[in-house]
Structure 1
Amino acid sequence: MTALGFSCSCCGEVHEGLPFAYSMPAPVYWSEEVAGLPGSFLAGEQCVIGDEHHFVRGRIVLPVRDADEDLEWGVWVSLSPVNYQRMIDVFDDPARAAEPPYFGWLSTALPGYAYPTVNLKTRLHTQEPGVRPLIELEPTGHPLAVEQREGITVARVQEFAEIALHQRGTP
């Protein structure tokens, strides 16, 4: 890696910058087909499918041990109807940061992992208004959960950038 970018192991070129954040536009279950169902919508921070399945956007933060910033995955988590309604009820309330965490299922397929990330158990921690919730993964042996606990290196951040640049499961 250089100050202006990194030397790509896929194509050999030097690419400018190294992204430390990726965001998925929708839960893995969202499609044009479900978009037409009654009671379905996809908005910036929430998604509902058929008035039955409820999702919110959050952040999985992976500490980067050899850098001054962390990697953030913008992901979607499913919540029970009761917890989803509670989040809506306190959405603009500054006291929402004190809410207990909500149980959820990771609803995003992240690239760069040998095992699927969809349906990992999570705890969603609300933050103050204007800040997306933090997603804590259940402390299992899944590589994503291990990376959240133990951190990653800049070399791993570069792997994600190469996946994005060369469309190998775009982040």
Structure 2
Amino acid sequence: MFERLLRKRSFKYKCNECGKHHEGSPSFSVKYPPYYFDVPETERSNRIQYCDDLCKIVPSDNDTSEDPIYCIRVILEIPIIGASEPFTWGVWITQSEENFEKYTETFETDQSDEQSFGWLPVNLPFYNNTQIGEPLTHLEGEVYWGSKGQRPKVILWKNAHQLAVDQRKGISWKQATKIANQANGGREPRAEVFK
């Protein structure tokens, strides 16, 4: 009995994107920064430079009051109490123009000694409390750039938003399942003890 309790739990779930079964703690990603959808579809090819890790959005020609938006994709981890791996989100965080340029120039090298400040727009299942028509909540965070081939990680600054609280304190197995269910489009991941 004691040995069974010491085992770490693991999830098994079917991915909505690829249709395959995966094992391990839940991992979900956001394909585009939320600002991407603020740009009319007909203007995106002219105003957005995008790849899986970087996104730059310039204002429209008519808008002289706005600055470009610079985003990089980062990993946000939330510990799951009693699990061997964290709940992982692939999210977008803003960067200053200077940090964005430095990040892109050194992208192919080891960046593990670098870090920068960024704003995380909260547009995640379970954590997004913004009503339709209201601006998204933005949380402050420290971005720790990764070694070559690894995405940076973000540690949110201490505040009362549930996402920041969960990153600091961790979430229960039950809560992780609930969040994964919402992020997985209502399909329940199967949780079991890892053997």
TM-score tier (shorter): 0.7 to 0.9
The alignment yields a C-alpha RMSD, in angstroms, of 2.7
Alpha-carbon distance, 1:37 to partner = 5.6
User: After superposition, what is the alpha-carbon deviation per residue over 1:129-156, rounded to whole angstroms, capped at 9, x for unaligned?
Assistant: 1111001101111111111111111111
TM-score between the two structures when normalised by the length of structure 1? 0.80
Q: Unaligned stretches of 5+ in structure 2?
A: 1-8, 14-20, 60-67, 131-135, 188-195
Say whether 1:57 aligns with 2:55. no
Residue number in structure 2 paired with 1:33 = 40
Secondary structure of the corresponding residue to residue 102 of structure 2: helix
CA contact 1:24–1:108 (8 Å) conserved in 2: no
Give every structure 1 segment of 4 or more consecutive aligned residues whose post-TM-superposition deviation is greater than 4 Å: 2-6, 15-19
Alpha-carbon distance, 1:36 to partner = 2.5
CA contact 2:25–2:85 (8 Å) conserved in 1: no
Q: In structure 2, what is the Cα distance between the partners aligned to 1:136 and 1:118? A: 16
Q: Identity of aligned pairs, percent?
A: 25
Q: In structure 1, what is the Cα distance between the partners aligned to 2:147 and 2:117? A: 19
Q: Unaligned stretches of 5+ in structure 1?
A: 7-14
Residue number in structure 2 paired with 1:43 = 51
CA contact 1:29–1:107 (8 Å) conserved in 2: no
TM-score between the two structures when normalised by the length of structure 2? 0.71
User: After superposition, what is the alpha-carbon deviation per residue over 1:11-62, rounded to whole angstroms, capped at 9, x for unaligned?
Assistant: xxxx996751000001011126265263412211001111711100001101
Q: Which has the larger radius of gyration?
A: 2
Paired AA for residue 119 in structure 2: W
1:73 to 89, 105, 115: 89
Number of residue pairs matched by the alignment: 156
Alpha-carbon distance, 1:92 to partner = 1.2
By relative contact order (CA 8 Å, sep 6+), the higher-ranking structure is: 2
